[in-house]
């Protein structure tokens, strides 16, 4: 393979060299011909022509190779190639003129020829190169193979750039574009007509025998993805798209960047606009601690915080493999950043105190938590120990060592909680809110719903079930949840940290809730399968502690807007501090002794709206093969 490629390149260079050399006599003869008004060249001038040709050919051979004229490729002829042509012609002309001046002082050579000859050589060398590139760029040459018939959605800049690249690849054959802008319909891009809008996709796919639909709008809104994906799923045609503008990283739009639609495309929202200056203001140049750094939210927090150039980043997690993974990634991505990796448990007071005493973090993002609802229902003591006592230990350390800001990552399950997990997060919220009134540290809570693709969430479960051939298990046909992407959630956490003055609960705008049944059907379709035919969906019934729908704020929290359109502020509900600390002490004792009944009683006293029916006996009755511990 390698030898054949070398031979092909050598052959191409020889052919180009012969082409360029042939233009020397052609241009010289044309110069004499023009000099004599397109009439036969006189015999005396013919002798001069032959004398010039004998000297011109070696002069041009020398100049072609001296300036490196054959480094470029005709397929990608550019300004650099034209500059090399001008340089080679100028050098050859100089050699010819100097040689013939020494020979006979240029006697007998028409001055018109001296001018026209190099101009015609430049034209002869440049025009074929530019014409070849124009033909290839516009797909005017016959294709080597019959490519997949492609319909491009979007006739804007992204569509134009992608279409230009599609025409260069024989595996694609663009047959039409669609765009909802009436001003673009009926017009052409690179010879391909804009034949209608999104509503015409079904008809065009059938009429033009389309194999592939490509969404060429990097800034496309969610509704467009949903509409096109739904149409393609119904008519059974493959659909691909370009990355979002934020993911292009200033690269040109190209065929190589096409990818299948993802769940983020269908459920994602408009890009979050951040006040980057305020975020950088409280992170840059400061030591930052992230607990739960190996988790889905924690690891993304590490990435986005690291990009803000902190003085050092302390990553803390109890999972050895998780923290190793994010440590390895961060060191490769941010080689100049001081990264301190701490393996430890937030429930370990001595370990947490050592971290604060040793590294003095000024900003803390507390993302360490147990979050799997059914698992915490079965292990309520561990949920309390980690989510409440562990959070209290880290929050108290932030106060003790005079940190500037403590950002607590909470959940929508803390609102009118129906399970132990949500209740533990709500109590941690209450503690941080009330501690803020007694500390110089800014305690800020952020609350949001599910994130797509996080560990333990429904999306990885559905992906595994699809790989296994189904069925997909949904607890209830009407159950809904809020979803957002991990980067979006973390960006808003950072923004809340910049905006908070202490004691607030920032509620992230989660958009519209998603019905889990619809989510399951979308994931099946994205896998190229049909729900109910290729993979079934079965309903298993609500699990212990599970609600049909989640809420993002309590009715008494008086939700109000902030200066950021995707962040809302929930009013705090103060409690008597001594009473709260006494209750937490009793709660910790119940968790340590594994007294579940007493533990649940304290949860209800601290969070009266806790709606769960938890108890050792009832939980065991619901799941007889498991035991509450």
Residues 6+ apart with CB under 8 A from 246: 271
Burial class (CB in 10 A: 0-12, 13-18, 19+), 15: exposed
Structure tokens, 294: 């190996």
Rounded to whole angstroms, the Cα distance separating 33 from 49 reads: 10
CA angle, 358 then 359 then 365, to 5°: 130
Other Cβ atoms within 10 Å of 440 Cβ, number: 10
Other Cβ atoms within 10 Å of 82 Cβ, number: 16
Rounded to whole angstroms, the Cα distance separating 472 from 535 reads: 7
The sign of the CA dihedral 174, 179, 185, 187 is: negative
- Which residues are known catalytic residues? 413
Structure tokens, 247: 């993911």
* Eight-state DSSP code of residue 531: B
507 SS3 class: strand
Q: What is the CA radius of gyration of the chain?
A: 35
Residues 6+ apart with CB under 8 A from 594: 381, 629
The sign of the CA dihedral 344, 347, 350, 356 is: positive
The sign of the CA dihedral 82, 88, 92, 97 is: positive
Contact between 567 and 492 under an 8 Å Cβ cutoff? The reply is yes
Structure tokens, 195: 């034949």
Residues 6+ apart with CB under 8 A from 409: 292, 297, 365, 366, 367, 369, 446, 493
Place of tokens 């990435």: 303
Structure tokens, 8: 């092909």
Phi, psi at 570, each rounded to 5°: -100, 130
Structure tokens, 46: 């013919």
Strand partners, 445: 408, 505
* Eight-state DSSP code of residue 325: H
514 SS3 class: strand
């Amino acid at each position: 393979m390698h030898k054949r490629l070398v031979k092909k390149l050598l052959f191409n260079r020889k052919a180009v060299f012969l082409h360029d050399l042939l233009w020397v006599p052609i241009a010289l003869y044309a110069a004499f011909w023009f000099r004599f008004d397109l009439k036969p060249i006189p015999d005396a001038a013919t002798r001069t022509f032959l004398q010039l040709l004998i000297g011109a050919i070696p002069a041009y051979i020398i100049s072609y190779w001296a300036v490196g004229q054959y480094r470029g490729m005709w397929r990608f002829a550019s300004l650099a190639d034209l500059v090399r042509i001008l340089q080679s012609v100028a050098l050859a002309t100089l050699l010819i003129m100097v040689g013939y001046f020494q020979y006979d002082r240029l006697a007998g050579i028409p001055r018109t020829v001296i001018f026209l000859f190099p101009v015609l050589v430049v034209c002869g060398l440049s025009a074929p190169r530019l014409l070849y590139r124009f033909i290839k760029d516009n797909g005017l040459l016959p294709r080597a193979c019959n490519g997949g018939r492609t319909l491009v959605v979007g006739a804007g800049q992204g569509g134009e750039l992608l279409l230009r690249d599609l025409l260069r690849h024989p595996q694609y054959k663009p047959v039409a574009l669609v765009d909802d802008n009436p001003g673009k319909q009926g017009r052409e891009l690179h010879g391909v007509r804009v034949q209608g809008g999104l509503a015409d996709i079904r008809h065009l796919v059938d009429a033009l025998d389309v194999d592939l639909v490509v969404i060429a709008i990097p800034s496309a809104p969610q509704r467009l993805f949903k509409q096109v994906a739904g149409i393609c799923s119904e008519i059974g045609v493959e659909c691909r798209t370009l990355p979002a503008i934020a993911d292009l990283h200033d690269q040109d739009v190209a065929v190589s960047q096409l990818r299948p639609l993802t769940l983020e495309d269908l459920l994602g929202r408009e890009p979050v606009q951040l006040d980057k200056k305020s975020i950088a203001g409280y992170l840059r140049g400061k030591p930052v601690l992230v607990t739960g750094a190996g988790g889905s939210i924690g690891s993304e927090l590490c990435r986005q915080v690291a990009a803000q150039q902190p003085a050092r980043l302390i990553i803390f997690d109890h999972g050895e493999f998780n923290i190793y993974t994010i440590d390895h990634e961060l060191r490769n991505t941010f080689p100049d950043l001081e990264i301190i990796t701490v393996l430890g448990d937030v429930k370990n007071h001595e370990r947490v105190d050592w971290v604060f005493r040793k590294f003095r973090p000024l900003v803390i993002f507390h993302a360490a938590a147990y979050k799997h609802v059914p698992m915490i229902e079965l292990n309520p003591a561990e949920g309390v120990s980690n989510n409440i006592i562990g959070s209290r230990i880290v929050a108290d350390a932030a106060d003790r060592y005079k940190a500037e800001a403590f950002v607590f990552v909470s959940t929508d399950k803390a609102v009118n909680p129906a399970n132990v997990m949500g209740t533990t997060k709500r109590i941690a919220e209450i503690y941080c809110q009330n501690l803020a009134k007694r500390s110089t540290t800014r305690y800020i809570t952020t609350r949001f719903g599910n994130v797509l693709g996080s560990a333990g969430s429904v999306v990885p479960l559905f992906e595994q079930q699809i790989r296994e051939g189904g069925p997909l298990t949904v607890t209830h046909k009407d159950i809904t949840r809020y979803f957002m992407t991990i980067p979006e959630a973390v960006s808003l956490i950072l923004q809340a940290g910049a905006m908070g003055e202490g004691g607030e609960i920032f509620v992230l705008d989660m958009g519209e809730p998603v019905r889990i049944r619809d989510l399951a059907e979308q994931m099946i379709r994205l896998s190229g399968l049909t729900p109910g035919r290729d993979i079934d969906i079965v309903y298993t019934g609500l699990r212990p502690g599970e609600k049909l729908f989640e809420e993002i704020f309590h009715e008494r929290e008086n939700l109000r807007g902030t200066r950021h359109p995707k962040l809302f502020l929930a009013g705090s509900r103060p409690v008597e501090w001594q009473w709260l600390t006494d209750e937490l002490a009793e709660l910790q004792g119940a968790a340590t002794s594994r007294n579940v009944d007493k533990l649940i009683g304290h949860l209800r006293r601290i969070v009266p709206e806790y709606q769960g029916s938890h108890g050792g006996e009832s939980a065991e009755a619901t799941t007889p093969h498991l035991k509450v511990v």
